[in-house]
């Protein structure tokens, strides 16, 4: 019985993680990839915006939350504030996981 419970908990953990990542990947594709590229390697904007590739999960999450809260950002701050204002904490965490994986 203990083995069954252990096996089920492992399956649930990986299943939830995969679903979490898929949601973030879809959101990134719809909301972020046009400016930042499919793999985060494109610097957004003509004036040398931010390349996401190479950011850690924590750094990406901090920047996204900062944009949403209005406490982070430079010249493109208003664009990112408008985009991130619609994201929930969970969506920001999902996006950060995707960005941290580039």
The residue length of the chain stands at 102
- Residue 8 is predicted with a pLDDT of 46
Could you read off the pLDDT of 27-65 as tens digits, one per residue?
999 999 999 999 999 887 655 677 899 999 999 999 999
Mean pLDDT across the stretch 72-100? Answer: 93
The CATH code that applies to domain 2-100 is 1.10.760.10
The residue extents of the domains of the chain are 2-100
| Stated pTM of the model | 0.73
List, in order, residues 6 or more apart from 36 with CB less than 8 Å away: 42, 44, 50, 51, 52
- What residue has token string 């999450």? 61
Q: How many whole angstroms separate alpha carbon 91 and alpha carbon 27?
A: 8
């Amino acid at each position: 019985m203990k083995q069954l419970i252990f096996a089920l908990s492992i399956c649930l953990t990986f299943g939830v993680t995969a679903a979490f990542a898929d949601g973030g990947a879809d959101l990134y594709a719809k909301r972020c990839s046009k400016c930042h590229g499919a793999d985060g390697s494109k610097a957004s904007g003509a004036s040398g915006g931010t390349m996401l590739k190479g950011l850690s999960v924590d750094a990406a999450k901090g920047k996204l939350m900062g944009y949403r809260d209005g406490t982070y950002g430079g010249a493109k701050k208003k664009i990112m504030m408008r985009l991130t204002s619609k994201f929930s904490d969970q969506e920001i965490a999902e996006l950060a996981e995707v960005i941290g994986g580039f």
